[in-house]
C-alpha cells in the first residue's frame, strides 16, 4: 500500500462508549462497532480513530489507562478487538488506536509500584518532587488546581497535568520509554493503521522550569519514538498538539524529520475564547478571523507538513450548535456550509461520530446531569469563586465535553437504537428528527453531503492539494477561496451567516461546473447568497 495513503483518506472518530451497545448494558462496545462498520464504509471512510478502549477506571473515560495491553471489559475482550481489526480490514478500513503516553491511570501497575517506595524500580517512571514546609513544589496547575499531589507515605509530590488520577510519566527514564515502545510495537504487530497521540506536546516537559508544552526534549523524543516504533510500519500518526503554530506543526509533520504524519492544531477552535482565558470564557466568532487562520495553515504547511482538518471531536461541542445554527430551519443547511468550507482544504479530514448526521449539543439544567470530569471540576471551582450557577451551566451547555458524548443516534427506536438498556449518558431527545435511518432515507440530507464531499476529495486530490488563495468577496460574512493546479480550479464560496448576503467575486462563474451546493437551486450568479448558502464549482481551462 502507498506509504502516504493517509493523505487521501477520510478518518472517522469513534467514542466507543457512545457509539453502539451490543450486549445491553447501556455502554457502547467493540462488537457494537463491528455491527456498524457498513455504515462507515457507505459513508466512504478509510480509517477509524478509536478513542481509548484499554483497561481503565474511567475517571477520564479511558484517557486514564491502567493496562495498555488489556481491553476494558465494558468494551469487550482482546479477541473482540482482533475481530474488529479483521472485520474493518475486510472493508478496507484501518483502525487507529489512541495512544495516551503522557500519563497513565493511578491504578496502573507501574504507579501502584511507584507508590510503594522511592527505591522501587517503577518509582522513577513518574515525576516526583519534594518540598519543604508543606509548600507545593511549584505553581504548575492542572486546570484550576495544583498539578502536584502529595503522597504522605513517601513525603513526596507527583506531577499530574490532568486529574490527580492521571500521573504524568517521566520521559527521562530510559526503562519507562522502552516499556512504552514495546507496548506500541505490540499494537503495531496486530496490524493496526496507526495512532492518535494524546496531548503529545506535553511529553518533553521541564516541570522545574514551569515548561509543560513544547519542551526542549519534545522533538528528539518523538523522533526517537518514530525510529523505535511506528516509523518502521506503514501507518498514520496524528498528534494532539494544542500549542502548535504552523512553525511547530512543521517540526512534527515535515516528513524529512521523521516524527508524525500530522497534528491536530486548535487555532481555529480557540477563536471563540477570550485571549488568555479558559475555554469557558466565550467571545463571538469572527468569520474573517476563521478564514485567516485556515488560510494561514493552508499556505504555511504546503510541502513542509500536513494538516488535519476537523470541526469536532470528543472534547468539543457540536459544531452546528457552535458556529452553525441548530434550529430546525438551519441545522442541515449550516452543517453543509461548514462541511463544504472545510472539505476543499488540503489535509486529512476527520469526522466525529454523529457529525455526518448533524447531531447537536445537549442542554442540561443541573450539574447532576454531567458525567465529564472537566466540566464537573470547573463547576465546583467556579461556584467557589462566586460565579452564579446559571452562568456556569451556560458555559457547560456551550462548551462542555458531554455535548459530543451523548449516544450516537441511529434510528427511531427506543434510545435511538444505541442500546436496549438505560444508556450511560442520556440519548438526546431530538433523535426522532436526527438519526442515521432518517438521514439515509432523505436524498439531500447532510449525510449525503459528507459522503459526496469525501468522494469529491478523492477525485480531485491534485487540485485540492494544489495552490491556495483567498478570494476577496467584499463581505466579511462571505468566505471564498480558490484551489488550483495548472488550469484546473475549484472555487469555494460560503455564506457564514443566517442573513442574505451580497458579495462580489470578480470571477464569472457562468462556465463553471457545480461540484456541490447546499441549496436545491441553480448557483446564483447575481452575487447574492441565501442564509448559510455554500457551493464549490470547478473551472477548467482559462475561462476565469
Ligand atoms: C486529550 C483528550 O482528548 C481528552 O479527552 C483527555 O481528557 C486528555 N487529553 C487527557 O488525556
**pLDDT class of 200 with cuts at 50, 70, 90:** very high
Q: Calculate the dihedral angle through the C-alpha atoms of 381, 384, 386, 392, rounding to the nearest 10 degrees.
A: 40
Residue 306 grid cell: 500536513
Using the atom order of ligand 1, give the atom closest to the CA of residue 240.
Answer: 1
Task: Please determine, for residue 544, whether its predicted confidence score (pLDDT) is greater than 70.
Answer: no
In testing the pocket of ligand 1, which one of 63, 142, 243 has its CB within 8 Å of the most ligand atoms? 63
Within 13 A of 495's CA, how many CA atoms are on the CB side? 22
106 within 8 A of 167, measured Cβ to Cβ? yes
Rounded distance, CA 152 to CA 274, Å? 39
Rounded distance, CA 201 to CA 151, Å? 27
Closest CA to 194 of 350, 56, 63, 70: 350
Rounded distance, CA 118 to CA 116, Å? 7
In testing the pocket of ligand 1, which one of 100, 159, 212 has its CB within 8 Å of the most ligand atoms? 100
Q: What pLDDT is attached to residue 542?
A: 64
Using the atom order of ligand 1, give the atom closest to the CA of residue 102.
Answer: 11
Q: pLDDT by residue (tens digit) across 35-61?
A: 999 999 999 999 999 999 999 999 999
Instruction: Please tell me which residue, 318 or 523, carries the higher pLDDT value.
Output: 318
User: Atom 11 (ligand 1): residue with closest C-alpha?
Assistant: 63
Q: Which residues line ligand 1 (CB under 6 A)?
A: 60, 63, 100, 162, 198-199, 240, 314-315
Q: Tell me the torsion sign for CA atoms 502, 504, 510, 511.
A: negative
Neighbours of 231 (CB within 10 A): 15
Using the atom order of ligand 1, give the atom closest to the CA of residue 63.
Answer: 11
Q: How far does CA 7 lie from the centroid of its chain?
A: 17
User: Atom 3 (ligand 1): residue with closest C-alpha?
Assistant: 315
Q: pLDDT by residue (tens digit) across 397-433?
A: 999 999 999 999 999 999 999 999 999 999 999 999 9
Ligand 1 centroid distance, CA of 210 (Å): 21
Ligand 1 centroid distance, CA of 167 (Å): 13
Backbone angles phi, psi at 378, to 5 degrees: -65, -40
Q: What pLDDT is attached to residue 525?
A: 67
In testing the pocket of ligand 1, which one of 57, 61, 162 has its CB within 8 Å of the most ligand atoms? 162
371 within 8 A of 402, measured Cβ to Cβ? yes
User: Atom 8 (ligand 1): residue with closest C-alpha?
Assistant: 63
128 strand-pairing partners: 158
Using alpha carbons, list the distances in angstroms from residue 261 to 14, 97, 223, 255, 287.
20, 15, 12, 7, 29
Give the single-character DSSP code of 518: S
Q: List, by residue number, the catalytic residues.
A: 198, 240
Q: pLDDT by residue (tens digit) across 61-89?
A: 999 999 999 999 999 999 999 999 999 99
Within 13 A of 265's CA, how many CA atoms are on the CB side? 25
Percent of the chain with pLDDT over 70: 99
151 strand-pairing partners: 156
Using the atom order of ligand 1, give the atom closest to the CA of residue 374.
Answer: 7
Ligand 1 centroid distance, CA of 354 (Å): 20
Q: What pLDDT is attached to residue 461?
A: 98
301 within 8 A of 249, measured Cβ to Cβ? yes
**pLDDT, mean of residues 262-285:** 95
Q: pLDDT by residue (tens digit) across 139-164?
A: 999 988 999 999 999 999 999 999 99
Go through the domains of the chain in sequence order and give each one's CATH number: 109-159 (3.90.400.10), 465-540 (2.60.40.1180)
Ligand 1 centroid distance, CA of 196 (Å): 11
Q: Tell me the torsion sign for CA atoms 119, 122, 127, 128.
A: negative
Rounded distance, CA 85 to CA 95, Å? 6
Ligand 1 centroid distance, CA of 199 (Å): 7
Query: In terms of DSSP bridges, do strands 501-502 and 488-495 run parallel, antiparallel, or are they unpaired?
Result: unpaired
pTM score, whole prediction: 0.98
Please name the residues in contact with 524: beta carbons below 8 A apart, sequence gap of 6 or more: none
Using the atom order of ligand 1, give the atom closest to the CA of residue 64.
Answer: 11
User: Atom 5 (ligand 1): residue with closest C-alpha?
Assistant: 315
**pLDDT, mean of residues 274-288:** 94
Ligand 1 centroid distance, CA of 414 (Å): 31
403 within 8 A of 321, measured Cβ to Cβ? yes
Using the atom order of ligand 1, give the atom closest to the CA of residue 103.
Answer: 11
Strands (E), 399-530: 467-470, 478-485, 488-495, 501-502, 513-517, 528-529
168 within 8 A of 202, measured Cβ to Cβ? yes
Angle at 523 between CA 521 and CA 529, to 5 degrees: 95
Rounded distance, CA 161 to CA 471, Å? 42
Backbone angles phi, psi at 464, to 5 degrees: -65, -30
Rounded distance, CA 168 to CA 64, Å? 11
Ligand 1 centroid distance, CA of 315 (Å): 7
Rounded distance, CA 163 to CA 249, Å? 27
**pLDDT, mean of residues 222-249:** 97
Residue 384 grid cell: 467557589
Q: At what angle do helices 446-459 and 331-342 cross, to 10 degrees?
A: 10
Ligand 1 centroid distance, CA of 365 (Å): 25
Place of cell 493511578: 106
Rounded distance, CA 177 to CA 255, Å? 23
Task: Please determine, for residue 199, whether its predicted confidence score (pLDDT) is greater than 60.
Answer: yes
Alpha helical stretches, state H, 197-271: 218-228, 246-253
In testing the pocket of ligand 1, which one of 61, 97, 99, 198 has its CB within 8 Å of the most ligand atoms? 198
Using the atom order of ligand 1, give the atom closest to the CA of residue 60.
Answer: 7
In testing the pocket of ligand 1, which one of 14, 17, 60 has its CB within 8 Å of the most ligand atoms? 60
Ligand 1 centroid distance, CA of 524 (Å): 44
Tell me the pLDDT of the chain averaged across its residues: 97
Ligand 1 centroid distance, CA of 52 (Å): 10
Rounded distance, CA 69 to CA 396, Å? 34
155 φ/ψ sector (left φ>0, alpha ψ -120 to 50, else beta): left
**pLDDT class of 522 with cuts at 50, 70, 90:** confident
Terminal Cα distance for the chain, rounded = 38
**pLDDT class of 543 with cuts at 50, 70, 90:** low
Please name the residues in contact with 382: beta carbons below 8 A apart, sequence gap of 6 or more: 280, 391, 392, 395
Ligand 1 centroid distance, CA of 198 (Å): 6
Task: Please determine, for residue 366, whether its predicted confidence score (pLDDT) is greater than 60.
Answer: yes
Closest CA to 296 of 341, 246, 248: 246
Amino acid at each position: 500500500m502507498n506509504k502516504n495513503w493517509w493523505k487521501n483518506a477520510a478518518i472517522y472518530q469513534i467514542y466507543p462508549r457512545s457509539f453502539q451497545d451490543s450486549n445491553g448494558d447501556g455502554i457502547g462496545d467493540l462488537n457494537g462497532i463491528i455491527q456498524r462498520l457498513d455504515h462507515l464504509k457507505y459513508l466512504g471512510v478509510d480509517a477509524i480513530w478509536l478513542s481509548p478502549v484499554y483497561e481503565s477506571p474511567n475517571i477520564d473515560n479511558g484517557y486514564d489507562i491502567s493496562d495498555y495491553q488489556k481491553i476494558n471489559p465494558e468494551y469487550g475482550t482482546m479477541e473482540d478487538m482482533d475481530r474488529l481489526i479483521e472485520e474493518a480490514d475486510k472493508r478496507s478500513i484501518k483502525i487507529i488506536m489512541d495512544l495516551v503516553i503522557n500519563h497513565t491511570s493511578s491504578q496502573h501497575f507501574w504507579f501502584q509500584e511507584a507508590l510503594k517506595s522511592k527505591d522501587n524500580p517503577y518509582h522513577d517512571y513518574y515525576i516526583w518532587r519534594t518540598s519543604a514546609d508543606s509548600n507545593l513544589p511549584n505553581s504548575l496547575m492542572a486546570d484550576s488546581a495544583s498539578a502536584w499531589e502529595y503522597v504522605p507515605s513517601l513525603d513526596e509530590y507527583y506531577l499530574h497535568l490532568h486529574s490527580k488520577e492521571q500521573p504524568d510519566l517521566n520521559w527521562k527514564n530510559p526503562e519507562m520509554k522502552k516499556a512504552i515502545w514495546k507496548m506500541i510495537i505490540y499494537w503495531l504487530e496486530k496490524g493496526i493503521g496507526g495512532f492518535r497521540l494524546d496531548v503529545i506536546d506535553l511529553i518533553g516537559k521541564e516541570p522545574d522550569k514551569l515548561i509543560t508544552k513544547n519542551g526542549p526534549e519534545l522533538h528528539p523524543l518523538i523522533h526517537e519514538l518514530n525510529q523505535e516504533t511506528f516509523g518502521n510500519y506503514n501507518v498514520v500518526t496524528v498528534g494532539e498538539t494544542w500549542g502548535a503554530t504552523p512553525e511547530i506543526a512543521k517540526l512534527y509533520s515535515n516528513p524529512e524529520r521523521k516524527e508524525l504524519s500530522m497534528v491536530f492544531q486548535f487555532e481555529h477552535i480557540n477563536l471563540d475564547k477570550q485571549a488568555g482565558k479558559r475555554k469557558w470564557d466565550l467571545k463571538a466568532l469572527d468569520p474573517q478571523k476563521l478564514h485567516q487562520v485556515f488560510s494561514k495553515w493552508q499556505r504555511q504547511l504546503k510541502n513542509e507538513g500536513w494538516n488535519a482538518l476537523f470541526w469536532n471531536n470528543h472534547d468539543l461541542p457540536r459544531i452546528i450548535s457552535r458556529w452553525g445554527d441548530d434550529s430546525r430551519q438551519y441545522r442541515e443547511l449550516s452543517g453543509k456550509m461548514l462541511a463544504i468550507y472545510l472539505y476543499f482544504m488540503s489535509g486529512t479530514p476527520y469526522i466525529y461520530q454523529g457529525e455526518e448526521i448533524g447531531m447537536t449539543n445537549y442542554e442540561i439544567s443541573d450539574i447532576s446531569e454531567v458525567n465529564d470530569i472537566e466540566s464537573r471540576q470547573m463547576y465546583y471551582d467556579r461556584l467557589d469563586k462566586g460565579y452564579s450557577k446559571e452562568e456556569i451551566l451556560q458555559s457547560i451547555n456551550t462548551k462542555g465535553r458531554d455535548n459530543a458524548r451523548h449516544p450516537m443516534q441511529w434510528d427511531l427506536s427506543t434510545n435511538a437504537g444505541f442500546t436496549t438498556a438505560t444508556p450511560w449518558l442520556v440519548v438526546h431527545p431530538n433523535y426522532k428528527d436526527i438519526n442515521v435511518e432518517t438521514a439515509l432515507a432523505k436524498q439531500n440530507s447532510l449525510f449525503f453531503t459528507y459522503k459526496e464531499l469525501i468522494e469529491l476529495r478523492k477525485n480531485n486530490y491534485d487540485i485540492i492539494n494544489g495552490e491556495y488563495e483567498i478570494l476577496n468577496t467584499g463581505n466579511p460574512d462571505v468566505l471564498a477561496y480558490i484551489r488550483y493546479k495548472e488550469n484546473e480550479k475549484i472555487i469555494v464560496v460560503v455564506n457564514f451567516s443566517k442573513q442574505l448576503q451580497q458579495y462580489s467575486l470578480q470571477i464569472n462563474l457562468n462556465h463553471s461546473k457545480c461540484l456541490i451546493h447546499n441549496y436545491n437551486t441553480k448557483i446564483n450568479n447575481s452575487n447574492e447568497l441565501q442564509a448559510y448558502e455554500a457551493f464549490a464549482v470547478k473551472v477548467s481551462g482559462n475561462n476565469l
